[in-house]
Chain A
Amino acid sequence: MVDATHRDADPAREHEHGGASNEDWNDADFVARWLERQAERAPERRRQFALVRAVIPRLPAEEFRYLNLGSGPGNLDELLLDQFAAATATLVDFSLPMLMAARARLARFGDRVEYVHANLASADWAGGVGGSFDVVVSTLAVHHVEDPRRIRALYGEVHRLLGHGGMFLNLDRVRPARPAFGPLAAWAAQDPEAGLSARGHGDDLPGTLAEHLGWLGEAGFGAVDVLWKDPGMALLCGLRDHLHVPEEAHAHDGGEHAHPHTH
Chain B
Amino acid sequence: MAAREARGERTTLGMVDDQGRTSTHSGLFAGLHAHGGAAHWHDEFGQRAAEDLTDEELAAQSLDWKMHNVQIVTLGVDIGSSTSHLMFSKIYMQLLGEGRDVHSVVVGREILSQSPIIITPYRPDNTIDTTVLAQLVNDAYAAVGASPADIDSGAIILTGEALKRENARQIAELFAAETGKFVCASAGHHLEAVLAAHGSGTVSRSRRDRQTLLNVDVGGGTTKFALVRDGQILGTAAIAIGARLIVKDESRRLTRIDAPARVVADHLGIRMVLGELLAAEDEERIVQAWTEILAGLIEGRPVEGLAAELLLTDPLPSGVVPQAITFSGGVSEFFFMRESRDFGDLGRPLAAALRRALSTGLIRLPVIMDPNLGIRATAVGASLFTVQVGFNLYVSDETMLPLRNVPVLVPRVDLEDEVAPARIAAAIRESLVRLDLADGEQPLALAFEWPGDLVLSDVRALAEGIRDGLPETMARAVPLVLIVDTTISVALGRALKEDLGIAGPVLSLEGVSVAEFDFIDLAPLIHPTEVVPVTIKSLLFAGGLDRRSVKQALYDAAMASQRPGARES
Which residues of A are in contact with B by a Cβ distance under 8 Å? 1, 22-23, 25-26, 28, 65, 88, 92, 94, 96-97, 99-100, 103, 111-119, 122, 124-125, 127-131
Contact = CB atoms under 8 A, between A and B. Distances in A.
B369 A115 contact: yes
B323 interface: yes
A22 B359 contact: yes
Contact of A28 (B322, B323, B337, B364): B337
Interface in B512-551: 545-548
B336 interface: yes
B356 A23 contact: yes
B33 to A, nearest CB: 16
Interface in B16-73: none
Contacts of A124: 323, 364-366
B208 interface: yes
A127 B324 CA distance: 6
Given A127-B323, A130-B205, A116 B358 contact: no
B211 A130 contact: yes
B449 to A, nearest CB: 30
B146 interface: no
A99 B336 CA distance: 9
B366 A111 contact: no
A116 B547 contact: no
Nearest to A96: B355
A130 B208 contact: yes
Interface in B201-217: 205, 208-212
Contacts of B323: 124, 127-128, 130
Given A1-B361, A96-B367, A128-B365, 13 more contacts: A23-B359, A26-B359, A96-B355, A96-B359, A111-B371, A111-B546, A115-B369, A118-B366, A118-B367, A124-B366, A127-B365, A128-B367, A130-B323
A192 to B, nearest CB: 43
A128 B546 contact: no
B368 interface: yes
Contact of A103 (B205, B369, B546): B369
Interface residues of B, number: 28
Contacts of A28: 337
A129 B323 CA distance: 9
A203 B361 CA distance: 29
- Nearest first, the 5 A-B pairs at minimum CB distance are A128-B366, A127-B323, A130-B209, A118-B366, A128-B324
Contact of B368 (A94, A96, A100, A114): A114
A112 B371 CA distance: 10
B232 to A, nearest CB: 16
Contacts of A116: 324, 366-369
A84 to B, nearest CB: 14
Nearest to B325: A128
A175 B299 CA distance: 37
A170 B547 CA distance: 27
A88 B547 contact: yes
Contacts of B546: 111, 114
Contacts of B336: 96, 100
A74 to B, nearest CB: 12
Given A26-B355, A88-B547, A128-B323, A115 B371 contact: yes
B368 A115 contact: yes
Interface in B343-398: 355-356, 358-361, 364-369, 371
A26 B364 contact: no
A47 to B, nearest CB: 29
Contacts of A92: 366
A131 B368 contact: no
B366 A117 contact: yes
A238 B286 CA distance: 49
B298 to A, nearest CB: 12
A117 B209 contact: no
Given A111-B546, A122-B364, A128-B324, A99 B209 contact: no
A26 B209 CA distance: 27
Contacts of B547: 88, 111-112
Contact of B371 (A100, A114, A118, A125): A114
Contacts of A129: 366
A25 B366 contact: no
Contacts of B369: 99, 103, 114-117
A26 B361 CA distance: 12
A137 B468 CA distance: 58
A131 B366 contact: no
Contacts of A25: 359
Contacts of A127: 211-212, 322-324, 365-366
7 contacts: A22-B360, A97-B337, A99-B369, A114-B371, A115-B368, A118-B324, A125-B366
Contacts of A119: 361, 364, 366
A117 B325 CA distance: 10
A122 B364 CA distance: 9
Contacts of B371: 111, 113-115
B367 A23 contact: no
Contacts of A26: 355-356, 358-359
A213 to B, nearest CB: 28
A131 B209 contact: yes
B359 A128 contact: no
Given A25-B359, A114-B368, A117-B369, A100 B337 contact: yes
A122 B299 CA distance: 15
A65 B211 CA distance: 17
Contacts of B365: 124, 127-128
Contacts of A94: 359
A251 to B, nearest CB: 20
A176 to B, nearest CB: 32
Contacts of B337: 28, 96-97, 100
A131 B547 CA distance: 14
Contacts of B368: 114-117, 128
Contacts of B205: 130
A113 B371 CA distance: 8
A160 to B, nearest CB: 13
Nearest to B545: A111
B556 to A, nearest CB: 16
| Most chain B CB neighbours (cut-off 10 Å) among A23, A96, A99, A119 | A96
A26 B357 CA distance: 10
Nearest to A23: B359
A23 B359 CA distance: 5
A127 B368 CA distance: 10
Interface in B301-325: 322-324
A125 B324 CA distance: 8
A22 B355 CA distance: 11
Contacts of A111: 371, 545-547
Contacts of A130: 205, 208-211, 323-324
Nearest to B322: A127
A74 B122 CA distance: 44
Contacts of A125: 366
| Most chain B CB neighbours (cut-off 10 Å) among A22, A88, A114 | A114
A22 B358 CA distance: 9
A21 to B, nearest CB: 8
B323 to A, nearest CB: 3
| Most chain B CB neighbours (cut-off 10 Å) among A28, A116, A124, A127 | A127
B24 to A, nearest CB: 23
